[in-house]
Amino acid sequence: MSKWYPKKGRVIFHVDMNSFYASVEAAYDPSLKGKPLAIAGNPEERRGIIVTSSYEARAKGVKTTMPIWEAKRLCPNLIIMRPNFERYRKASSEMFKMLAEITPYVQPVSIDEGYMDITGCEALGAPLEIANRLQQRIHDELDLPCSIGIAPNKFLAKMASDMKKPMGITVLRLRDLPMKLWPLPIGEMYGIGAKTAEKLNKVDITTIHDLVEADIYLLKRILGINGERLQNRAKGIDTRSVDPDAIYDFKSIGNSQTLPEDTTDDLVIKQLLRKLSRKVSERLKRKEVVGQNVQLMIRFHDRKTITRSKKLSTYIDEDDTIFNYAYALLDQHWNGTPIRLLGVTVQDLQEKKAIAQQLNLFTYEHEAKKEKLYETMEQLTEKYGAKTFKNGHQLEDNSQPRTSFQKDYLDDYRK
């Protein structure tokens, strides 16, 4: 088997679950199989947004971030469901456990995709054999489809996994690049979004091969240092390792939500800010981290988006504190035009245990008084449930989180 494993290079898998949310729902309810299905953040609202959809729905033109009304116009028999994040989280955890049984070098990058470094796994068979067995096991035991890219580095493995969906396995070696990778449109390259592709198209860089051949000084002028990095990736150069501990290397935690309709109603906006602040606070506490920077994102009715932040002199994790800073930023930077979306993020995170907060006498007394209250609330919450306490200013919210899963959701598979 050693002939399938390079003496100096690495063998990297990128495992990408296909239409993950929709596939999990179909596995849970087999009557949904083969039907056009979409997961939407708020199906009751005409202006809700499609989170993901099944391949049957995609064949009708349904796309992620598309408004529900447009998706229904393209596919009148579309089945729309609310997301069930606990269900997706459980499926994700089971999938990553399967990966970890093959190699300890597993790096989740989102709830439905991750990298594996199988270098040194000769005893388990050739890379293609391992990939086939893994794909089949995920399908048999979880009833979920996935695609796997096999390559000498992370970037090429990611590109390979996108080349055949669903249930594809693609090998992308350095010698394959001129035939398989370079002819692709520049917009299909991982790491290049619509705006970057537009900038490159303006200077006649329309394929990945054009990027490979482009003048480095031109790329730096257009894209800065990112231009050289993207060109190296296109050439197949990517020295990043598969890092199992990368799930803990996060620098911010945030939540955002699109409003049911564009609004200038201060009460509605204020209520949403409180809810987002509470969500962020819950996630900070679950990860036992605190932050020193509060960022507010505002997307207006015309989709223009601004972000404004406030650097703090101390670390925070309480929802009221987060809200107060976020609302102050809103008050300072909102121009009164209708708002479409709001986001609250706490940045510059540190683990609580690593912070030795220097409290003055006032702060100490204030925190000490609250500490007994928090302890009592936590004891009662453990006894009677999480909804025992609800501040009057908090919105009733029985829905799941509105944002995609980020790294703070990804350590469950190790437990």
In 224-336, which ranges are continuous DSSP H helix? 225-234, 266-286, 319-333
Given CATH 1.10.150.20, say whether it is the number of domain 178-234: yes
Please identify which of the residues 56, 70, 113, 198 carries the catalytic annotation.
113
Cite the annotated binding site for Mg(2+) by residue number.
Answer: 16, 112
- Is residue 380 very low, low, confident or very high in pLDDT (cuts 50, 70, 90)? low
Q: What percent of the chain has pLDDT over 70?
A: 82
Q: What are the b/e assignments for 289-313, b being 16+ CB within 10 Å? A: bbbbbbbbbbbbeeeeeeebbeeee
**Binding-site residues, please?**
16, 112
Which residues contact residue 156 at a Cβ distance below 8 angstroms, ignoring those fewer than 6 apart?
12, 149, 172, 174, 177, 181, 236, 238
Domain definitions of the chain by residue range: 21-85, 178-234, 250-357, 359-395
From edge to edge, which strands make up the β-sheet containing 37-40? 50-53, 37-40, 79-81
CB 230 within 8 A of CB 211: yes
Rounded CA separation 53/62 (Å): 7
Residue 411 has pLDDT above 70, yes or no: no
Weakest-pLDDT range from 30-44, 125-139, 262-276, 374-388: 374-388
Per the annotation, the verdict on 318 as an active-site residue is no
**pLDDT tens digits along 57-82:** 999 999 988 889 999 999 999 999 99
Does the pLDDT at position 397 exceed 70?
no
Residue 100 to residues 11, 126, 247, 282, 320: CA-CA distances in angstroms? Answer: 15, 17, 14, 28, 40
- pLDDT interval class at 168 (50, 70, 90): very high
Residue of 266 and 411 predicted with greater confidence: 266
Contacts of 3 (CB under 8 A, 6+ apart): none
Separation between Cα atoms, residue 331 and residue 135, nearest integer Å? 51
Per the structure block, which two tokens stand in for 184? 């692709």
Using CA atoms, how far apart are residues 116 and 128, in angstroms rounded to an integer?
13
Rounded distance between C-alpha atoms, residue 293 and residue 312, angstroms: 6
- At residue 349, the pLDDT reads 84
pLDDT tens digits, one per residue of 210-255? 999 999 999 999 998 899 999 999 999 999 999 987 766 667 899 9
pLDDT digits (tens, 9 = 90+) for 185-210: 999 999 998 889 999 999 999 999 99
**pLDDT for 295 beyond 60:** yes
Backbone angles phi, psi at 259, to 5 degrees: -70, 150
Q: What is the pLDDT of residues 17-26, one digit of tens each?
A: 999 999 999 9
| Residue type present at position 50 | I
- Using the predicted structure, report yes or no on whether residue 387 has a pLDDT greater than 80: no
Give the start-end residues of each E strand in 91-183: 106-110, 113-117, 146-151, 169-171
User: Three-class SS of residue 60?
Assistant: coil
Instruction: Please state, as a whole number, how many other Cβ atoms lie within 10 Å of the Cβ of residue 139.
Output: 15
Query: Tell me, what's the pLDDT at 343?
Result: 94
Longest CA span, the chain = 69
| Beta bridge pairs of residue 300 | 339
Write down the pLDDT at residue 378.
Answer: 53
CA–CA dist 141, 124 (Å, integer): 20
Third-level CATH fold of 250-357: Dna Ligase; domain 1 (3.30.1490)
CA distances from 193 to 64, 187, 188, 366 (A): 15, 7, 8, 48
Residue with tokens 């005409």: 46
Fold of 21-85: MutS, DNA mismatch repair protein, domain I (3.40.1170)
In the predicted structure, residue 85 carries a pLDDT above the cut 50: yes
Over residues 340-360, the pLDDT tens digits come to 999 999 998 887 765 543 333
pLDDT tens-digit profile of 254-280?
Answer: 999 988 889 999 999 999 999 999 999
Residue-level pLDDT at 370: 53
